[in-house]
Amino acid sequence: MTRSVHRTRRTVQLAGAGAAALLALSACSSSSDSSTAKATPSGSASASASSKISGDLTVFAAASLKESFTTLGKEFEQAHPGTKVNFNFGGSDTLAATITSGAPADVFAAASPKTMAIVTDKKDAEGTPATFVRNQLEIATLPGNPDKITSLKDLTKSGLKVVLCDKTVPCGAAAQKALDASHLKLTPVSYEEDVKGALNKVVLKEADAAVVYKTDVEAAGGKVAGVEFPESSSAINDYPITLLKNAQNPAAAKEFIALVQSPEGQKVLGEAGFLKP
Amino acid sequence: MTDTNARRAALVPGSEGAAQGLDAHLVVDRGTFRLDVRLTAAPGDVVALLGPNGAGKTTALRALAGLVPLSDGHLRLDGTALERTAPEARPVGVVFQDYLLFPHLTALDNVAFGPRCQGFSKAEAREQAAGWLERMGLAAHAGAKPRRLSGGQAQRVAVARALATRPRLLLLDEPLAALDARTRLEVRAQLRRHLAEFEAVAVLVTHDPLDAMVLADRLVVIEDGRIVQEGAPADIARHPRTDYIAQLVGLNLYRGEADGHTVRLAAGPAITTTEELSGPVFVAFPPLAVTLFRDRPTGASARNLWRCEVSGLETHGDQIRADLTGELPLAADLTTAAAAELELAPGAAVWATVKATQTHAYPA
Amino acid sequence: MTPLDKSGAAAGPRPGRPRRRPVRAGRRGVPLPLLVPGLVALAFLLLPLLALLVRAPWATLPDQLTSSEVWAALRLSLLSATAATAVSLVLGVPLAWLLARTNFPGRGLVRALVTLPLVLPPVVGGVALLLALGRNGVVGQLLDSWFGITLPFTTTAVVIAEAFVAMPFLVISVEGTLRAADPRFEEAATTLGASRFTAFRRVTLPLIAPGIAAGSVLAWARALGEFGATITFAGNFPGRTQTMPLAVYLALQNDPDAAIALSLVLLAVSITVLAALRDRWLTGS
């Protein structure tokens, strides 16, 4: 009896080892790909190395990354024919929550280390997340800045309708940090559920100003005016990116992360208003 | 049309130009159906609109109440033109077929509804309503909701509710149709009394000739949107002019050409009558006047003897109604015993006779 | 000859109408094709609620619910949902009457448009409300320049957003009841001298009261759960525009346990209110 049980268990172990070996093999090949890409981060090199990459890639990314990641996704698909990049943009917290609930995703790019920690704490990330960009807060005002807002302090003027992100989302936490650092007390008309919500209130001229990311101001084009403020340096947000443990397509995922970190990717992100890490 | 008008004028003396009473020419066009009916009545008259389903009786009633707009014609009540008046402003009371008592209001408040709308205070309206219920013998049920009332009680509340607005024209749509046979008898008698007391014009719609004849002074028979006959109930019962009316009043009716005592029917045999007439006539006789024989009766005169076949049998109280086809299609009534003796069954061949004295001929 | 007597008989026997429908047969023997899907539906609806109960952080629940923000959000939710229902009643019942009782060109289209907020994603509804009633909106602009009123970010905006999504439920429910109600009662009232409005007020309204009650409950429930239109049009500020669904959503961002706790409170309150209403209104009469 005991023997047979033992043997069964061993069989299972063997099978498990086999599967692990298979996984390791594929992981090796893909990691060599990505290291190649890293070593020679030129477009042509990554393209030549990418011949084995194909299939769907699912990227969960913070809402503020929407424009730049969409551009990078198209570049990726062009460089690796046969791949398709699916994005899920949203509040980093929501995305983190869905990932920990088992949503199928290959890559997670968060707007703050805190939200990334939700994923790493649950051991859903593969390896250590890397900071790939940083985002700085900026004040978004109505076009032409009619209220003459030049500093964070100006936002506390009475009669001004200011929206902030809710403290539970990164942009809100960062704004609060900046306000605390300058010992300012600001009562907004609303704590928006995400940064786009805050920005849109200004775009729609319902609010006079919002504290959002520089990238959001860039993305809004001429619909809002951006005002930089010195206190923002105390609340710069790191954006971490990571491969996920449950990744269906780790090869493509690693290649995408490499692209984001490449000079080419950094150029696209820089144009969107992101700072280099 | 002209002689019809003349006859109506004769029936209702002074209806032309007289200020009092009802003077209506109701024309309602509804695509395939057109109602075109002239109605006149003096105060105190009870007019019954009688007709088969779909004849337009209810449409006529709704037109009088203002619930259906007139396409043409006119409506004058006591000299006032009403055809453009909204229903709520017409001095018209309606008793609907299923009464339409407001289910959320007590009997008292149902009756008080009209006076309330006329501007009486709640207390005054209720006092008046209580008076009406008293008169209807319903004082004990004043606080009851309609669903607690019996059919007869509900009908009386509906009449009281309509009368409480003191209308100059009371309309009753099949006022007895919703009642069972036993209640009907009792309520019919009460309604007759109330209508007799009512000083203005009452128009009731019914498909039941008995209701019409008991309740109304005058019958107006409508078929297919038009008046086919009108007059006193007894007159119509004796001189039906359409098959529908003859059937209603339970007569066999034939149209033919009279020559002395003989009426030759358009298609079929001749009927011998006691009246001596000439020209187009109607001949009528009741089913009870028909005698049936299994074999050709010997010794009987050959007059008014027809060879027929039983096409249907129907129990009618303690009588059997036999529908016959053959030389002369007719209905015959006989006792159950007689039917058994004759071994009547559908398809049976019989001989039918009618005595000349039992027939009634009149000009068509 | 006695024609009167005979005529009665000749009129033919009145069809022997049964007085009442036969008493309903016993409830035994529920057909399987109804029973099985019915039970599946019940399980489907209750399972998520059950999961909420199972995973609720019962140990820390008292701590989770001591924050004043929770009670402010709950209070605001109940107040605004009730106000939105009241607005829906005052405006929606007349609209339902117009749709059910009058005939005007394009009525079918209007009816379809009325139900639009039902299919509109609530966030889109919120944006539409901003564009209409916002400070810079089509009508809101005038409100601001004429009366100095700006609606967004106010409790009024919460009520407006909730009424916008909840009113169609009431209108549809009341219109259905009106269509089912016998319009001849209104006719009877007019023949008794009642104007159309009096007939509506004194006869129709009491007759359709159950439908209005059912519609109100639906509208109230929808308003209570409203999220998208509210956060878009009214924003999120504790005590002023942060209703329970907003509080739950934001709590979910970084503290799922708190979100579950808040959901439980909302659930408990809604069930209590709905059960109480059902007892008092819906099963009445």
By Cβ distance, the residue of C1, C10, C192 closest to B247 is C10
pLDDT digits (tens, 9 = 90+) for B111-126: 999 999 999 999 999 9
Average pLDDT over residues C236-250: 90
Q: Starting from the edge strand earliest in sequence, which strands make up the sheet with B330-335, in order? A: B290-293, B349-354, B305-316, B319-326, B330-335
Q: What is the pTM of this model?
A: 0.72
SS3 B293: strand
Q: From CA A239, how far away is CA A132, in angstroms rounded?
A: 6
Interface contact flag, A93 C130, Cβ < 8 Å: no
* Closest by CA position to B344, among listed B302, B319, B310: B310
* Closest by CA position to A68, among listed A276, A267, A268, A257: A268
Q: Is A30 among the domain residues?
A: no
Pairing of strands B72-77, B80-81: antiparallel
Do A196 and A169 meet the contact criterion of CB atoms below 8 Å apart? Answer: no
Asked if residue A227 and residue A178 are part of one domain, the reply reads yes
Asked if residue A244 and residue A228 are part of one domain, the reply reads no
Report the residue of C240, C253, C255 to disrupt the A interface, i.e. the one with the largest count of A CBs within 10 Å. Answer: C253
Per-residue pLDDT, A51: 52
Q: Is A150 among the domain residues?
A: yes
Q: From CA C131, how far away is CA C145, in angstroms rounded?
A: 16
By Cβ distance, the residue of A188, A193, A206 closest to C130 is A206
Interface contact flag, C207 B93, Cβ < 8 Å: no
Asked if residue A242 and residue A118 are part of one domain, the reply reads yes
Asked if residue A210 and residue A255 are part of one domain, the reply reads no
Interface contact flag, C193 B114, Cβ < 8 Å: yes
Is the pLDDT assigned to residue B167 strictly greater than 70? Answer: yes
Low-confidence winner among A142-151, A238-247, B7-16, B134-143 (lowest mean pLDDT): B7-16
Q: Which of A50-59, A229-238, C93-102 has the highest mean pLDDT?
A: C93-102
Instruction: For residue A122, report the phi and psi dihedrals to the nearest 5 degrees.
Output: -85, 5
Interface contact flag, C11 B238, Cβ < 8 Å: no
SS3 B35: strand
Q: From CA B131, how far away is CA B133, in angstroms rounded?
A: 6
In sequence order, which residues have a C-beta less than 8 Å from that of residue C154 and are 6 or more positions away?
Answer: C234, C240, C241
By Cβ distance, the residue of C10, C182, C193 closest to B248 is C10
Interface contact flag, C237 A191, Cβ < 8 Å: yes
Q: Within its chain, how far is the Cα of C133 from the centroid? A: 23
pLDDT digits (tens, 9 = 90+) for B174-214: 988 888 888 888 888 888 888 888 999 999 998 888 888 88
Asked if residue A217 and residue A245 are part of one domain, the reply reads no
Average pLDDT over residues C259-277: 85
Report the number of distinct structural domains present in chain A.
2
Percent of chain B surpassing pLDDT 70: 94
Query: C180 at the B interface (CB within 8 A)?
Result: no
Per-residue pLDDT, C282: 57
* Closest by CA position to B175, among listed B188, B186, B165: B188
Residue numbers in C near B248 (CB within 8 A): 7, 10-11
Report the residue of C254, C257, C262 to disrupt the A interface, i.e. the one with the largest count of A CBs within 10 Å. Answer: C254
Residue numbers in C near B162 (CB within 8 A): 191-192
Is the pLDDT assigned to residue B11 strictly greater than 80? Answer: no
Asked if residue A129 and residue A151 are part of one domain, the reply reads no
Asked if residue A117 and residue A80 are part of one domain, the reply reads yes
Residue numbers in A near C127 (CB within 8 A): 204
Average pLDDT over residues A224-231: 90
pLDDT digits (tens, 9 = 90+) for C105-157: 988 899 999 988 888 899 899 999 999 999 888 999 999 889 988 899 999 99
SS3 C129: helix
Interface contact flag, A97 C251, Cβ < 8 Å: no
Interface contact flag, A193 C254, Cβ < 8 Å: no
Interface contact flag, A97 C253, Cβ < 8 Å: yes
Q: From CA B238, how far away is CA A80, in angstroms rounded?
A: 104
Do A259 and A75 meet the contact criterion of CB atoms below 8 Å apart? Answer: yes
**Min distance A198 CA to chain C CA atoms (Å):** 9
Alpha helix positions (H), chain B: 2-11, 57-65, 107-117, 122-135, 151-163, 181-197, 209-215, 233-238, 243-248, 336-341
Q: How confident is the model at residue C250 (pLDDT cuts 50, 70, 90)?
A: confident
Query: C8 at the B interface (CB within 8 A)?
Result: yes
Give the tokens for residue A224. 């809002």
Average pLDDT over residues A12-17: 43
Q: How confident is the model at residue A44 (pLDDT cuts 50, 70, 90)?
A: very low
Q: How confident is the model at residue A5 (pLDDT cuts 50, 70, 90)?
A: very low
Q: From CA A97, how far away is CA A87, in angstroms rounded?
A: 16
Per-residue pLDDT, B19: 65
- Model ipTM value: 0.76
Q: Is A108 among the domain residues?
A: yes
CB atoms within 10 A of CB A271: 13
By Cβ distance, the residue of C136, C232, C254 closest to A205 is C136
Interface contact flag, C251 A94, Cβ < 8 Å: no
Q: From CA A212, how far away is CA A199, in angstroms rounded?
A: 7
pLDDT greater at residue B233 or residue B202: B202
pLDDT digits (tens, 9 = 90+) for B245-284: 888 888 888 888 888 888 988 777 888 888 888 888 888 8
Interface contact flag, C235 A94, Cβ < 8 Å: no
Write the DSSP string, chain A: -HHHHHHHHHHHHHHHHHHHHHHHHHHHHHHHHHHHHHHS-SHHHHHHHGGG--EEEEEEEEGGGHHHHHHHHHHHHHHSTTEEEEEEEE-HHHHHHHHHTT---SEEE-SSHHHHHHHHHTT-EEEEEEEEEEE-EEEEESTT-TT---STGGGGSTT--EEEE-TTSHHHHHHHHHHHHTT-----SEEESSHHHHHHHHHTTSSSEEEEEHHHHHHTGGGSEEE--GGGGGGPEEEEEEEETT-S-HHHHHHHHHHHHSHHHHHHHHHTTPBP-
pLDDT digits (tens, 9 = 90+) for B316-351: 778 888 889 888 888 899 888 888 888 888 888 899
**Min distance C172 CA to chain B CA atoms (Å):** 23
pLDDT digits (tens, 9 = 90+) for A64-99: 888 899 999 999 999 998 899 999 998 888 899 889
pLDDT greater at residue B234 or residue B3: B234
Per-residue pLDDT, C276: 79
Per-residue pLDDT, C28: 66
Per-residue pLDDT, B170: 95
- Rounded to the nearest integer, the mean pLDDT of chain C is 85
Interface contact flag, C190 B238, Cβ < 8 Å: no
Interface contact flag, C241 A190, Cβ < 8 Å: yes
Long-range contact set of residues B123-131: C-beta below 8 Å, sequence gap at least 24: B128/B164, B129/B160, B129/B164
Is the pLDDT assigned to residue A16 strictly greater than 70? Answer: no
Give the tokens for residue C130. 């901003």
- Which CATH number fits the domain that encloses residue A59? 3.40.190.10
Per-residue pLDDT, B69: 92
pLDDT digits (tens, 9 = 90+) for B131-164: 999 988 899 999 999 999 998 899 999 999 999 9
Which stretches of chain A sit within 8 Å of chain C by CB?
91, 93-94, 97, 114, 118, 161, 163, 166, 168-169, 188-193, 197, 201, 204-207
Q: How confident is the model at residue C283 (pLDDT cuts 50, 70, 90)?
A: low
SS3 C21: coil
Interface contact flag, C9 B250, Cβ < 8 Å: yes
- Which CATH number fits the domain that encloses residue A218? 3.40.190.120
Per-residue pLDDT, C280: 65
Q: Is A31 among the domain residues?
A: no
Residue numbers in C near A192 (CB within 8 A): 231, 235-236
Asked if residue A116 and residue A251 are part of one domain, the reply reads yes
Q: How confident is the model at residue C281 (pLDDT cuts 50, 70, 90)?
A: low
Per-residue pLDDT, B348: 87
Asked if residue A152 and residue A123 are part of one domain, the reply reads no
**Min distance C127 CA to chain B CA atoms (Å):** 44
Write the DSSP string, B231-248: E-HHHHHHS--SHHHHHH
Q: Is A121 among the domain residues?
A: yes
Report the residue of C133, C138, C236, C248 to disrupt the A interface, i.e. the one with the largest count of A CBs within 10 Å. Answer: C236
Interface contact flag, A190 C237, Cβ < 8 Å: yes
Per-residue pLDDT, B222: 93
* Closest by CA position to A162, among listed A214, A203, A206: A206
pLDDT greater at residue A44 or residue A171: A171
Average pLDDT over residues C30-39: 91
Per-residue pLDDT, B266: 77
Do A170 and A237 meet the contact criterion of CB atoms below 8 Å apart? Answer: yes
In sequence order, which residues have a C-beta less than 8 Å from that of residue A10 and are 6 or more positions away?
Answer: none
Q: From CA C116, how far away is CA B158, in angstroms rounded?
A: 44
Give the bridge partners for B48, in sequence order. Answer: B204, B219
Q: Is A276 among the domain residues?
A: no
**Min distance B2 CA to chain C CA atoms (Å):** 31
Residue numbers in A near C246 (CB within 8 A): 193
**Min distance B294 CA to chain C CA atoms (Å):** 24
Do B142 and B106 meet the contact criterion of CB atoms below 8 Å apart? Answer: yes
Per-residue pLDDT, A40: 38
Q: How confident is the model at residue A37 (pLDDT cuts 50, 70, 90)?
A: very low
Query: C241 at the A interface (CB within 8 A)?
Result: yes
By Cβ distance, the residue of C237, C249, C251 closest to A189 is C237
Per-residue pLDDT, A94: 84
Q: Using the 8-state DSSP alphabet, how is residue B36 labeled?
A: E
**Min distance C201 CA to chain B CA atoms (Å):** 12
Chains that touch A (3 or more CB pairs under 8 A): C
Interface contact flag, B65 C191, Cβ < 8 Å: yes
Residues spanned by the domain of A65: 52-134+238-271
Instruction: For residue A242, report the phi and psi dihedrals to the nearest 5 degrees.
Output: -150, 155
Is the pLDDT assigned to residue C55 strictly greater than 90? Answer: no
Where does residue C160 rank: exposed (0-12), middle (13-18), buried (19+ CB within 10 A)?
Answer: buried
Interface contact flag, B248 C182, Cβ < 8 Å: no
For residues C243-253, one letter each, b for 16 or more C-beta atoms within 10 angstroms of the residue's C-beta and e for the rest, the string is bbbbbbbbbbb
Per-residue pLDDT, C95: 94
Is the pLDDT assigned to residue A29 strictly greater than 70? Answer: no
Q: How confident is the model at residue B299 (pLDDT cuts 50, 70, 90)?
A: low
Residue numbers in B near C14 (CB within 8 A): 181
Asked if residue A222 and residue A144 are part of one domain, the reply reads yes
Interface contact flag, C231 A94, Cβ < 8 Å: no
Tell me whether chains A and B touch (3+ CB pairs under 8 A): no
By Cβ distance, the residue of A93, A190, A205 closest to C235 is A190
Per-residue pLDDT, C150: 87
Asked if residue A154 and residue A103 are part of one domain, the reply reads no
Interface contact flag, A166 C253, Cβ < 8 Å: yes
* Closest by CA position to B208, among listed B248, B246, B173: B248
**Min distance C248 CA to chain A CA atoms (Å):** 11
Is the pLDDT assigned to residue A152 strictly greater than 60? Answer: yes
Percent of chain A surpassing pLDDT 70: 82
Do C122 and C233 meet the contact criterion of CB atoms below 8 Å apart? Answer: no
Instruction: Tell me the domains of chain C and their CATH numbers.
Output: 59-282 (1.10.3720.10)
Per-residue pLDDT, B360: 87
CA angle A263, A266, A271 (to 5 degrees): 130
Q: Is A15 among the domain residues?
A: no
Asked if residue A161 and residue A126 are part of one domain, the reply reads no
Q: Is A36 among the domain residues?
A: no
Average pLDDT over residues A120-125: 89
SS3 C86: helix
Per-residue pLDDT, C2: 39
